[in-house]
Chain A
Amino acid sequence: MAFDDFINQFWPSTVDGLALGAIYALVALGYTMVYGVLRLINFAHADIFMVGTFAALWTVQTLGVNSAGGLGLIGLAVLMSVVAGLVSGGGAMLLEVLAYRPLRKKGASRLAALISAIGASILIQQLFGTVIIRWVFGTSKEGGKLPLNEHFVDRSTVIDLGPIEVSNDKLIVFVGAVLMMVALDQFVNRTKLGRGIRSTAQDPETAVLMGVNIDRVVSVTFLVGGVMAGVAAALYFLRFEQAWYLTGFLLGIKAFTAAVLGGIGNLRGALVGGFSLGLFEMYGASLFGSQWRDVVAFSVLILVLMFRPTGILGESLQRARA
């Protein structure tokens, strides 16, 4: 235990925790939405995120940017988000049609869909590691399995309040993620499609009776979740400037954890869960050392689930509100 470290690193930890948590939260939204509608843990969602990081890399390479700062960086972030969002969103829809819809039509058990999710996850990873990265980026066979780097961000401190220093990339990640979450919240609560999603989550059979097209709702859910993952991937790429075919694995577990922590099936829960997990990791690391950061984060998860089995905000909010 190192309380003085914790106190001295409190503000940098908070800033980094929020920047990391914002990405967890965006990815967690995809898990939570699919779970809300289909009661399925879409494990391949993490790989949809990975696909997005490569789309962001492709954007930067195609534009040939090698040093972006200020407004240019914001513009680039928007552009990368659009490209990555489209690629990931499309990928997620395709994934649903290929891996989940046939099972759903046949009335297969939820367990079968779960296995299909794990299989799809591994398939996407290996396709990228062995073939796709090689084709798109022209690397050698072995090179496709190594992380690809592209250095293009011109970092500077944009907020300086004594102990609190925020660099431009972290600010863009945080603001971009929050904007996306607000937009999603409005979409689900205000639009007709959003109402369809909510009604399917609440009671699929009655929703069908009321004229909701379930297939369409499921497709839209995957699309929206995929777009969120794509934007998260673009922001992640902006912050770390690296794309790797196995990125999704650890990040996916964390984002899924964030979804459970906040209350799976609950959109606002994903947000709370993402930010709390990012902060717990950072505070835990400064207290006990970085090798303990995941241990601390998961211990907190277990503690929360012991006292609130449905997560911080609970599954019920979605049920009631949805």
Chain B
Amino acid sequence: MERLGTLRRNKMRVTVAAAASAVLALGLVACSDDGGSGGGGGDEVTIGFMGDLTGENSGLVIPPKQGAELAFEQYNATNPKVKIKFKTYDSQGKPEQATTLVQGAIKQDKIAGLIGPAFSGESQSANPILDEAKVPSVTPSATQITLAEKGWKYWHRVVADDAVQSAGVGEFALRALKAKKVFTVSDNQEYGKGLADNVGNAVKPKGVQVQSDAVDDKATDYSSTVNKIVQFKPELVYFGGYYAVAGRLFKQLKEAGYTGKMMSGDGSLATGLIEGAGEKNAQGALLSCGCLIDAEGKTNEKAKKFATDYKTKFGSEVAIYSTEGFDAATAFIEAVKAGKTSTEDINTFLKTLSFQGVGKPIKFDDKGELAAQDIFVYEVKGNKLPLLGSSKDAQVS
């Protein structure tokens, strides 16, 4: 699988290189074009995908890329009047790289829309440019709260933000875990600290005792934090941060004899968590996410078909944000199907769009946020992370 992945990426790089030279040639021809309308008329439009495809967090971005790829492939296979060309931009999650790439995507490739950028940091620097060029974007995975408050008119996302996630976790802790004491830990980074603090703030007003602590993401020894937790004896430990740190923390917690529930967020929703903590220590650990990974079709029957198609094409199970990648792509496909090919038309169309995706019902509010804001809970079983259910009704054993 790893090999295949590398091969595919290599092939992709070749494609990108070829596309780049083609673009250069095109750019020369299209010099006289004013570039205002974009989207390219005729019988093909280009939709881009931007995110970290080769960097250290690419594990979170390749699944949505593959989801989108699958959606466009299935659409093009129906021989539509207007085909969609899918083009990827590897920002490595870096804001400065995203800024450069997005300008090329708009000016040279004349993308009609963009799926991504995948992370919040790069969104902050790329989306103002997209907004100015009036190119619509749908991100599958950028969850920072403030993105919706920038007043961008061409920005959308198909995932709930961190505030919704914290509230969902709080609700779940009170209802399903009947927590009286909650301990929150963060890696002291913007995403992790925000998530952990908000979980604490969500349960505090309900009379829950909350304590918190932070760990260093570069360190290995978390015994001082573990000692605090073991002494406090909470029903739930919630960690805000990424899976490598979560794995170390959960391992050391279990080894110190902690018996309550351990939970983390979307940044830890990867099998790397189980490897890091050890299969035995990770059992029963819970993960919250605004993303839906539903291989068994628990939530709707479209999810099951998507999971099967995905596995057939890529040889791996649906993973984090692959559903969101597919749904984001579908939003653009619906627009093209309705005969919208210019960036302005597509954006206007997205405002009225409403359909059942392979994950969630897709309908945007006027800020570009999903109207339905669900948080899903996953539980470690064996070496997998199956869906337990929505935070509103999931039950723990």
Interface set of A (CB-CB < 8 Å, partner B): 5, 8-9, 12-13, 16, 20, 139-143, 145-147, 149, 151, 155, 167, 236, 240-242, 246-247, 249-251, 281-282, 285-286, 289-291, 293-294
Residues in B whose Cβ lies below 8 Å from that of A142: 54, 56, 58-59
The answer to whether A290 and B214 have CB atoms under 8 Å apart is yes
Contact B218 A246 (CB under 8 A): yes
User: Which chain A positions have C-beta within 8 A of B281?
Assistant: 151
In the complex, residue of chain A having the shortest beta-carbon distance to the beta carbon of B247: A149
**Chain A residues near B58 (CB, 8 Å)?**
142
Given contacts A282-B224, A290-B228, contact A149 B5 (CB under 8 A): no
Chain A residues, CB < 8 A from B213: 289-291
> When the two chains form their complex, are residues A16 and B221 in contact, meaning their CB atoms are under 8 A apart?
yes
Q: Which residue of A lies closest to B281 (CB)?
A: A151
> Given A143-B2, A246-B218, A240–B248 Cβ distance below 8 Å?
yes
Complexed CA–CA distance, A285 and B229 (Å): 13
How far is it, in angstroms, between the C-alpha of A93 and the C-alpha of B238 when the chains are bound? 46
Option from B227, B248, B279 in Cβ contact (under 8 Å) with A16: B227
* Structural contact, B275 and A8, CB atoms closer than 8 A: no
Given contacts A8-B231, A142-B56, contact A285 B224 (CB under 8 A): yes
Q: Is the CB of B224 within 8 A of A290?
A: yes
**B6 on interface, CB distance cutoff 8 Å:** yes
Of A16, A143, A151, A289, which is within 8 A of B280 by CB?
A151
Give CA–CA (A113, B220) in the complex, Å: 30
Taking chain A's interface residues, is the majority helix, strand, or loop, or is none over half, making it mixed? Answer: helix
Q: Nearest Cβ distance between residue A133 and chain B, in whole angstroms?
A: 14
Nearest B residue to A293 via CB reads: B224
Question: What 15 additional pairs, Cβ within 8 angstroms, besides A5-B231, A290-B215?
Answer: A9-B231, A12-B223, A16-B221, A16-B224, A20-B221, A142-B54, A143-B2, A146-B272, A147-B276, A149-B276, A151-B280, A281-B224, A290-B213, A290-B216, A290-B224
Q: Does residue B230 face the partner (Cβ distance < 8 Å to A)? A: yes
21 A-B pairs with CB atoms under 8 Å apart are A5-B231, A9-B228, A12-B227, A16-B224, A140-B6, A145-B56, A149-B247, A151-B281, A236-B220, A240-B220, A240-B221, A241-B251, A241-B278, A282-B223, A282-B227, A285-B224, A285-B225, A286-B224, A286-B227, A290-B222, A290-B224
Complex: A288 Cα to B362 Cα, angstroms: 46
A250 and B324 alpha carbons, distance in the complex (Å): 37
Interface set, chain B 1-27, CB cutoff 8 A to A: 2-3, 5-6
Residue picked from B58, B222, B281, most chain A C-beta under 10 Å: B222
* Closest chain B residue, CB of each to CB of A155: B255
Residues of chain A with a CB closer than 8 A to B54's CB: 142
* Chain B window 299-335, contacts with chain A (Cβ cutoff 8 Å), 1 for yes, 0 for no: 0000000000000000000000000000000000000
